[in-house]
A and B are shown apart, each in its own frame.
Chain A
């Protein structure tokens, strides 16, 4: 089937198209340069056209989500919608049920959403949920930062063995890339402890976060994986944590990248939670400046925001000790889920409020980061959904980034507490994102960062993932109309996925299966086999499942989209 999307105003930063009126053509699910006269015409004259959105970091499928849904029916009861002829029933606000997750992303014009943390032992669960989520492609990131084998090899400096392990475990878990969460800290949580800073060793293993991060990064580059290491550093959410953040990025600067498409060797996730100055919640202030300054001066790092949206939400992370701290702080119901030999995790509901000084400061810090980092290619829009806010608020975050007036208004009329202005530099930042910048932080940048050569742009050969919004960029001032920006980005005029129209006029018109996007390394098979043989006795002794039953079988990952990586190049 051929289509021609006519006369839209196109923003496609990878191909340096900045608001040009042009046609976008696609055939059999791929973007093409020309189509025949039989092509079906979709008239989008003067409307905003972008590649479909890519979310670099979201918790949307897997065991943590499920604990959240199971123990928060009060959240599920928000956002209930009955079934229609096309869609299944929806429930949930911060942790929607799987069908709702797919529909809501699709309605915002998103096509690819990264699941940010998969414990290998329960990877099957994540893939089962991906099967249940419709309409978006999902690359899952596999957790490695507290894995006992990695801790041991990192201590011994066995980089090639780590590479072999990572290569094998990405296949076993059907994962896309390497995620590191509070390295050494989540292992310490096995004993109810934590580590502080990157040079505080894990109990027993006697290895530091610095060693683990560097070792995994070197292994990542040895394999030449499409994504760099993806890190949630130590000390999340602690006042005075910005030096840890800077140290984490800085310890990586000598590591050479092995990828032509991406620029970074480390992706710093939900940076907002990692940029606090001060010593306690009483004297906390923004620590954005030193972090933004470092990122501005170095090209080996990219980040995403983790923007607080001031909603009641559910926090969930593999950073187990942090969640316990949060429980002590708020007293709200605490869930925890430690995974043998691999990681910890926890959940606590959280009520962000504009009346609360700390939450307001967090709100300001996220925006400050996006505005102070000069190069939008280094920034991605996220809310670390659902941690800082649910993903359905992305359009609202866009509206804040695009309008100085709106930000000032929020601070002036007390929608946020005075701390937002007093303890951060947000009030002084009059930078405003334009549509090209928005396309960069939600499409083009993520494509580069993840090595998604086939998506995030509208060049010929890319998959036909396209979003059209009901805005006319040439007759519309986003800096003055925040509410309309939010509305338009929340309800795409068209969302096209693999050349199929899934959303029209803000409503789901078609439901398709999601693809499991994963990486497979080729040319490292001998090393994988050797390392598996070496670790198997240990595996059999200390895991509680047999290796045969640990592996994610193929039928959990259909349909798949596999990025092959040639490790020998």
Chain B
């Protein structure tokens, strides 16, 4: 990469901003501002910096509605909001999907709207760590805050995740490199282990790389559990890993002082789905008979965990909650977005702070081509290509303040650094407006 001189031309630095990208929620980001524009970012990783230094070409700046030719046309806010409210009020089976890249403050009116019209509310967990939540419901959830790992851990294991690509500062800020209170030499005091079929960028940094076979995660964890329980392994090679290596690794894991296991979508997206997580959690629970072990799912969006927490305290269920009967119903595979789309049940789809166009399988997206889609987002993305009403929001953590929950459930208040573009509106305002307008329509039709 070419050398770029440091940015010196700025009016002010806004310190300790929280990065609104991944679940690491780094809250030490300094944003350099000139004339109410972000001109530089300090401390953020490549991902965070790229998001904060956004592509202004593709910023959604005005509300839009599709005309009869299928072209998006700029309209004023009232027209766009009325159109969206009309679609929602007239829907039989609306789904409100997304929420993971907005603030808790915006979710509150969103849930009210959901309760009002009897919609399904769901977030990105449904396509990422949904199986993790199910596994947690099966077997338990021994976790910690990331500072515990920073201060105490002498062994860190990543499996089914590649933080160097997806959470680039995770190792540097929380788990591997930082100098902790009981780990004064940082990286040198810790053993970094990666279990991954691929020689990933994280594996390249690790002390130990365990390249088990594709779909071999369950058998591998099971083998470690067996060794822990004093059983003899009957096969010489399990999931592509020689028996002696499994025994040696188990010994190492038993003899740490504090171990932490981090897992990602590599476990949730393969065929065994939540069963992979079940066994990983049980492995950690077993290890606690010998020494201290904890685990944490590597959550993707900066507030994906926040939505699950928000829904749990408001309505008792974490995601995929259906209010069509007037009370909350949570049935995985029944009230979850992909299943609703696969079954072609949904008749109006509102997406806020998410991009299903980029992340849903084509088979599910095909149904979005048949029904009206309302999009609330900050950038023109694949979902805009399927959207009938587009409402431009503002950028949480840069243009609008709000609350988010880090992957380890630590709540963080994300402050703002600049003012939003004049023609955009805060998500909270947009959803509140929809709520008002839908309430009015519902009352009128009573």
Contacts and interface: CB of A to CB of B under 8 A. Distances in A.
Q: A–B direct touch, CB within 8 Å, in complex? A: yes
Interface of A: 61, 63, 65-67, 69-74, 76, 80-83, 88-92, 95-100, 121-122, 124-125, 128-129, 132, 148, 189-192, 204, 324, 327-328, 333-341, 347, 541-546, 548-549, 553, 556
Contacts of A100: 316
A339 B313 contact: no
Contacts of B104: 128
The 3 closest A-B pairs by CB, nearest first: A340-B147, A91-B316, A192-B292
A319 B294 CA distance: 16
Interface string B118-149: 00000000000000010011111111111110
A187 to B, nearest CB: 11
B309 A546 contact: no
Contacts of B433: none
Given A97-B313, A191-B257, A544-B174, A72 B141 contact: no
A505 to B, nearest CB: 22
Nearest to B151: A542
Interface stretch (B48-56, B340-348, B364-372, B403-411): B403-411
B328 A70 contact: no
B16 interface: yes
A82 B133 contact: no
B142 A69 contact: no
Contact of A89 (B139, B323, B405): B323
A75 to B, nearest CB: 8
A7 B118 CA distance: 45
Nearest to B181: A542
A279 B132 CA distance: 40
A192 B288 contact: yes
A125 B314 contact: no
B115 interface: yes
Contacts of A89: 115, 315, 323, 326-328
B18 interface: yes
B158 interface: no
Given A71-B141, A124-B413, A549-B16, A80 B403 contact: no
A148 B138 CA distance: 34
Contacts of A339: 144-145, 148
Given A125-B409, A549-B18, 4 more contacts: A124-B403, A324-B288, A541-B179, A543-B147
B308 interface: yes
B292 A191 contact: yes
B152 A190 contact: yes
A83 B326 contact: yes
A543 B173 CA distance: 11
Contacts of B182: 204
Given A125-B405, A191-B258, A336 B144 contact: yes
A475 B318 CA distance: 49
Nearest to B332: A73
Contact of B16 (A129, A542, A543, A548): A548
B288 A66 contact: no
Given A190-B292, A324-B288, A71 B137 contact: yes
B195 to A, nearest CB: 22
Interface string B393-410: 000000000010100011
A337 B142 CA distance: 6
11 contacts: A66-B409, A69-B312, A70-B136, A99-B314, A122-B411, A128-B403, A190-B258, A190-B292, A336-B144, A543-B147, A544-B174
Most chain B Cβ neighbours within 10 Å, of A70, A324, A543: A70
B312 to A, nearest CB: 4
B141 A67 contact: yes
B140 A76 contact: no
B27 A91 contact: no
A91 B147 contact: no
Contact of A334 (B18, B115, B285, B330): B285
Given A89-B115, A191-B257, A545 B314 contact: no
B150 interface: yes
A377 B203 CA distance: 63
Nearest to B326: A82
Contacts of A70: 133, 136-137, 141, 308-309, 312, 318
Most chain A Cβ neighbours within 10 Å, of B173, B179, B313: B313
